[in-house]
Chains A and B, each alone.
Chain A
């Protein structure tokens, strides 16, 4: 199994809603990531979990709350989002290689905030 699975594929939510994005991998990877990508822009790193601990938080607003329940799962909890948060949210995973990361990406969740 070389897949990173993200659910849901599409999500529409209001600014007062609470929702969660889910990500799962069974490759034994010990690093997992959330990226945000707006149209015609590069993916921007949001969070990195390494061995189930948050190792990087790129100054992301608190309305985004990551969670790593175990080494195979990564969640992103959303609350009180703004319309400008509408984007493609990509999950990725990687081994802890000796030399250089190689990310495996999911297909993403296309989020629209109304």
Chain B
């Protein structure tokens, strides 16, 4: 039973435009949500997070939105850059030790 779902396996965006990556979850007990970015042959690296008491968190070009009633979160990247091309994983946790990942979305930013 996959509790965190990323339904789009891939996304292609033009440089300078907005990238929107989506994530849905089923466990209403999740209280912390994170996005990780993964380049080939490297481990995932933390990008941005949001706790369940907030609905938006912004860090530079990256903004995460949380809609608890819809059990949905999204990552907005604006403006998108070619170096943003990677696989993006959505993750959610209940407490500090039990993190679940989505299957990932491969973002390609074209110059």
Contacts and interface: CB of A to CB of B under 8 A. Distances in A.
Contacts of A4: 43
A48 interface: yes
Interface stretch (A68-76, A79-87, A98-106): A98-106
A97 interface: yes
Interface in B53-111: 89, 93, 96-104
Interface string A3-45: 0101000000000000000000000000100000000111111
Interface residues of B, number: 26
B45 interface: yes
Which of B2, B99, B103: most chain A Cβ within 10 A? B99
Contacts, number: 67
B40 to A, nearest CB: 10
Interface in B11-65: 31-32, 34, 36, 41-46, 49, 51
A42 B99 contact: no
B51 A99 contact: yes
Contact of B101 (A42, A94, A102, A106): A42
Nearest to B39: A107
A50 interface: yes
A65 interface: no
Given A40-B9, A100-B32, A105 B99 contact: no
23 contacts: A41-B103, A42-B4, A42-B102, A42-B103, A42-B104, A43-B44, A43-B89, A43-B101, A45-B99, A48-B98, A55-B97, A56-B97, A90-B44, A96-B96, A99-B32, A99-B51, A100-B49, A103-B34, A103-B44, A103-B99, A104-B46, A106-B43, A107-B43
Interface of B: 2, 4, 9, 31-32, 34, 36, 41-46, 49, 51, 89, 93, 96-104
Interface of A: 4, 6, 31, 40-45, 48, 50, 55-56, 90, 92, 94, 96-97, 99-108
Given A4-B43, A31-B96, A55-B97, 10 more contacts: A6-B43, A31-B97, A40-B9, A42-B2, A42-B104, A45-B98, A99-B32, A99-B51, A100-B31, A103-B46
